Structure 1
Amino acid sequence: MSTTSPHVTEPIWTEGPDGYSLAIEGTALACRNAKGKRLKTVPKKVRESEQARRLADVLLWLERHERDCAARVESWLLGSLPVPASVLSRVWPDPAWRTLLTDLFVAPEGGGEGGFLRGVDDRGRIGVLDLDAETSWLEADRVVPLHPVLVEDLDDVREFALELGITQRLPQLTRQIHRLPASFDADATRIDGYAGGRFEQLRHAAGLAQRHGFPVRGGYATCRVVEGGRTVQARYWIGSDAPDWETETGPLVWVDDDERVLKLTGVGPVAWSEGVRMAELVHAGRKNTEEKK
């Protein structure tokens, strides 16, 4: 299957001081001496050279770029947003984008059998590895990176990926999911199962939420999802006192764009899964009170 760009495996070397050469390899500087021998570490005089400083600046930019790309792809996943083949074709030559997109499980917009994304050809066709382990071209102008809770027969797809040694830079199939319960109290608007988690300091709870990628606003850890064209935000109470005060977690709720709390019957499967996932990750960091009993 031909794609728009081959994978680049060899670093591009640039001249450094005293016959040394420098290159960016992965997320670090690589160095070789005048004889072409690769060195395990970059000598101090080379590391402090102008050439090394310029490459270090490039590395910082690349790290920011990779984070931005990952955030954008995750937003597609959380919003089940259709991505045009023309967009995939433009970004595919960029290694940061290509690494994130390769083997992402996608399906044609409007439904149909999905597959693991493998590339886009010069004609804009989207290539996938399908669930019969065959490479094929999707008859679609746009594809949707599926949230795992929406993947049919998810366990089978996960097993298939494991058998073929498929790995994903952005965890998709391995993302923790939570299914909607079969029924709710018709008027229920909150989940209290993750309330009562105690943290010695509010900053510990807030820091934990932020490390997992959840912004903290107004005392809540938050997670934004676009589902069915509607924006929904999950909110998990972690407290709003002084950062060094002890805090205790509260309810998990979902609100719409107008800040109205939704009934649980009105929460979609992706918003539900992501909200509960957020609450579980934060709640897991609470103080262990069992040892004090």
Structure 2
Amino acid sequence: MGWVETTGGYAVTLDGTRVRCRNAAGRALKQVPAKLRDDAEVVRLRQLAEWLERHEHECRSQVDAWLVRSLPVPVGLLARVWPDEAWQGALRDLVVAPVGADGRAEADRAGFLRDADPERGLGIVDLDGDSVRLDCEQVLIPHPVLLEDLDDLREFATELGVEQGLEQLFREVWQRPETAGGTALEWGAYADAKFEELRHATARAVSYGYRVRGGYAICPLTEDGRALEAAYWIGDDYPEAEAYTGGLEWRVDGGRRLPIGEVGPVAWSEGLRMAASVYAGRVVKNEDEEGEL
């Protein structure tokens, strides 16, 4: 945006989400002078910057929900939001696949999203490196655990110079081991992690965007049209109490625990992603390692 004149011959502008200032001689200053911090124009720009940051976060959160929950997205909606830089930053270069009449994603027509236009539809770079247009009403933003030949896709993305604003291709994924199945109701690989204080585990879960409820870190999910949640026990004592993590479980139908053998690939991967993120902040027992991760 342009420069806005303010008191004392100074001018201010917004550079991304940072307020910048120049003096009457036109020289850019390293920071806004203290005497201008309560100036009406400076306050207005700071409020705008805060709104832009919230808006960018909301856009990323929504696109992440589409990815994690495997929700088909109308092409018309993508075309409407595409001119917005915050939406475009979250969507550009994500792998998208058209949804066919049967409701399934057509993986052979997938590609990296480069444009969304109300008249011409979506422009992508397909997996052969050609720029094409998709003629469809909905697309799926596939979770990486569902993408075949993920390593090849990552290599191809690197060759194209793809820089995704939202983690998709380079998102960590966990495949369910063949030994994990049957009627067991929880996965214990991330149990018994010690935290000096419960609030450390809680803060770590919240910092990654997870909810904390009833002693569990919670990750809401949708798979094959069914709503469920992954829940990882982190403790329900007072915040300053020592805490140990427990098992990871998946729940459906208002709290019924789902047997591990029935957990789908996206729910499995995202549940373990949550547990691993919290677990990494534990107190390390081995004295040869750092005291805390």
Using the size of structure 1 for normalisation, the TM-score is: 0.91
Pairing 1:27-106 to 2, within 5 Å after superposition: 27-106=17-96
Q: What is the rounded CA distance, in whole Å, between the counterparts of 2:59 and 2:117 in structure 1?
A: 21
The CA deviation at 1:292 is 9.4
Pair 1:135-2:131 in alignment: yes
Q: What is the rounded CA distance, in whole Å, between the counterparts of 2:65 and 2:236 in structure 1?
A: 27
Pair 1:23-2:13 in alignment: yes
Cα distance, 1:266–1:42 mapped onto 2, change above 3 Å: same
Pair 1:172-2:162 in alignment: no
Q: What is the rounded CA distance, in whole Å, between the counterparts of 1:142 and 1:60 in structure 2?
A: 33
Query: Equivalent of 1:268, from 264, 267, 271?
Result: 264
Pair 1:226-2:222 in alignment: yes
SS for the counterpart of 1:290 is coil
For residues 95-119 of structure 1, the C-alpha deviation after alignment (integer angstroms, 9 at most, x for no partner) is 1111111111111113222111111
For residues 10-44 of structure 1, the C-alpha deviation after alignment (integer angstroms, 9 at most, x for no partner) is x3332222333222111201223445443333233
Q: What is the rounded CA distance, in whole Å, between the counterparts of 1:39 and 1:184 in structure 2?
A: 59
Q: Which residue number corresponds to residue 8 of structure 1?
A: none
The CA deviation at 1:133 is 1.7
Q: What is the rounded CA distance, in whole Å, between the counterparts of 1:82 and 1:265 in structure 2?
A: 26
Equivalent residues of 1:106, 1:117 under 8 A apart? yes
Pairing 1:98-137 to 2, within 5 Å after superposition: 98-109=88-99, 110-112=104-106, 113-137=109-133
2:275 counterpart letter in structure 1 = A
The CA deviation at 1:196 is 0.7
The CA deviation at 1:47 is 3.6
Query: Equivalent of 1:159, from 150, 155, 164?
Result: 155
Equivalent residues of 2:105, 2:140 under 8 A apart? no
Q: What is the rounded CA distance, in whole Å, between the counterparts of 1:37 and 1:133 in structure 2?
A: 46
For residues 35-85 of structure 1, the C-alpha deviation after alignment (integer angstroms, 9 at most, x for no partner) is 544333323333431100111111111111111111111110111111111
The CA deviation at 1:289 is 1.4
User: Could you list the runs of 5+ residues in structure 1 that have no partner in the other structure?
Assistant: 1-10
SS for the counterpart of 1:243 is coil
For residues 224-276 of structure 1, the C-alpha deviation after alignment (integer angstroms, 9 at most, x for no partner) is 11111101100110111111111111111000032100011111100000001
Pair 1:207-2:203 in alignment: yes
Q: What is the rounded CA distance, in whole Å, between the counterparts of 1:290 and 1:21 in structure 2?
A: 56
Q: Which residue number corresponds to residue 4 of structure 1?
A: none
Equivalent residues of 1:234, 1:252 under 8 A apart? yes
The CA deviation at 1:213 is 1.2
Equivalent residues of 2:105, 2:139 under 8 A apart? no
Equivalent residues of 1:128, 1:135 under 8 A apart? yes
Query: Equivalent of 1:12, from 2, 25, 37?
Result: 2
Q: What is the rounded CA distance, in whole Å, between the counterparts of 2:154 and 2:33 in structure 1?
A: 45
Identity, % of aligned pairs? 47
The CA deviation at 1:124 is 4.7
**RMSD (Å), alpha carbons:** 1.7
Equivalent residues of 1:223, 1:275 under 8 A apart? yes
Q: What is the rounded CA distance, in whole Å, between the counterparts of 1:292 and 1:94 in structure 2?
A: 49
SS for the counterpart of 2:249 is strand
Q: What is the rounded CA distance, in whole Å, between the counterparts of 1:139 and 1:63 in structure 2?
A: 33
User: Could you list the runs of 5+ residues in structure 2 that have no partner in the other structure?
Assistant: none
The CA deviation at 1:202 is 0.6
The CA deviation at 1:151 is 1.3
